[in-house]
Amino acid sequence: MISPKIQDAINAQINAEFWSAYLYLAMGMHFEAEGRTGIANWFRIQFKEEQAHAEIFINYLISRGGRVELKPIEGVPSAWESPLAAFTDTLAHEEKVTALINNLYALAIEEKDYATRGKLDWFVSEQVEEEETAKGLIDRLKLVGDNGLALFMLDQELAARVYNVPSPLAAK
């Protein structure tokens, strides 16, 4: 059985993951409306990944005898000045999510909940990847600046991104 503290913290993380999904869906819709379909695709894939992260936490909580409590999701921004602004917001958001995961990991240590620590190991690695990807896209957008052809090429590249089911869900 999972402790009430861990259950509450995981429920808060589920809400944070759904908020993240909602944020990335808003970003995708913004760039879709601007005709930047590749950037929109990147954010739509990110939306799916965040939903999957929430599902991983839901499945885990249920498997440990916990109860999932879905809370309302707060609103998200709906417009960005540029792709660079959106990816800068993405990095800041992913850094916030990393802090949330780290706090959850610290709580699992405090509660001596080794099973939860083990589940969180995947999320710790995932957050390193999320931040690295956002930083790389920011660097590339800064490099190309306002060069229309370079932005077009980056948009085309991001259009090729496909969704891959995260390994904790693929095993189900």
Q: Is 128 helix (H, G, I), strand (E, B) or coil?
A: helix
Q: Tokens standing for 160?
A: 């090729």
Which residues form the domain of 123?
A: 4-170
172, pLDDT greater than 70: no
Domain count, the chain: 1
Q: How many CB atoms lie within 10 A of CB 23?
A: 23
Q: How many CA atoms lie within 13 A of 1 on its CB side?
A: 2
Would you state the pLDDT for residue 115? 97
Q: Tokens standing for 158?
A: 């991001």
* CATH number of residue 44's parent domain: 1.20.1260.10
Which residue type occupies 151?
Answer: L
Q: Are 28 and 40 in contact (CB under 8 A)?
A: yes
- Per-residue pLDDT of 33-56, as tens digits, reads 999 999 999 999 999 999 999 999
pTM value surpassing 0.85: yes
- Per-residue pLDDT of 130-144, as tens digits, reads 999 999 999 999 999
Nearest CA among 128, 34, 48 for reference residue 85? 34
Q: Tokens standing for 150?
A: 């370079």
